[in-house]
Amino acid sequence: MATCPVCDGDVELESNTVAGELITCADCGSELEVISIEPPKLEEAPDAEEDWGQ
C-alpha cells in the first residue's frame, strides 16, 4: 500500500508492480509513477512531452 501524493488516498500496489511503472489513483484519477517498491513511494507522473521529431 502506498499514499497518493496528490490526494493522500491509499493506493494499492499489485504484487508484480515495478519501479518506473505508471498507475492511476482510484480516488482522484491522477497518473502516478512508482518511484520505489520498498518502501512504497509514488510521485505524480511527468506530463508526456510532445516529440516533434527534432
Quote the pLDDT of residue 21. 96
Quote the pLDDT of residue 3. 97
Quote the pLDDT of residue 53. 61
Q: Which domain holds residue 6?
A: 2-44
Could you tell me if residue 53 is inside a domain?
Answer: no
Q: How far apart are CA 14 and CA 6, in angstroms?
A: 20
Could you tell me if residue 52 is inside a domain?
Answer: no
Could you tell me if residue 12 is inside a domain?
Answer: yes
- Provide the CATH number for the domain around residue 19: 2.20.28.160
Give per-residue pLDDT as tens, 1-48: 999 999 999 999 999 999 999 999 999 999 999 999 999 999 999 876
Q: Write the DSSP assignment of 6-52 as a string of letters.
A: TT--EEPPPTT--TT-EEE-TTT--EEEEEETTTTEEEEPPPPPP--
